[in-house]
Amino acid sequence: MTKSELIETIAARQTQLSSKDVELAVKTILEHMSQALSAGERIEIRGFGSFSLHYREPRRGRNPKTGDAVELTGKYVPHFKPGKELRERVNLGLQMGL
């Protein structure tokens, strides 16, 4: 499922909002989540999961083309930990042969 399919699905599930409103809402939610993570803030959605930042230590890497050693600085990467309900439902899908 892509973002536009998600927008269509949500729009079909409710009667109040136009597709355009749902599209703006989905984009606003994703931008809000990206902003929070970029500011070092966690995201916690009960039953879905949590997003946080994991730190990657500085390390010496290599330029894959030339093989030269390069110093890579430490950085943060986004990390997602699925919540209990999501883990259980996905596993149930497996049990049901999906």
Which residues of the shown chain bind other proteins in the complex (CB under 8 A)? 1-3, 6, 9-10, 13-14, 16-17, 21-22, 24-26, 28-30, 32-34, 36-55, 75-80, 82, 85-87, 89-94, 98
CB nearer other proteins, residue 5 or residue 67: 5
- By CB neighbour count within 10 A (0-12 exposed, 13-18 middle, 19+ buried), where does 71 fall? exposed
Residue 29 one-letter amino acid = I
Shortest separation between residue 90's beta carbon and other proteins, angstroms: 5
Region at 97 (left for phi over 0; alpha for psi -120 to 50; beta for the rest): left
Shortest separation between residue 13's beta carbon and other proteins, angstroms: 6
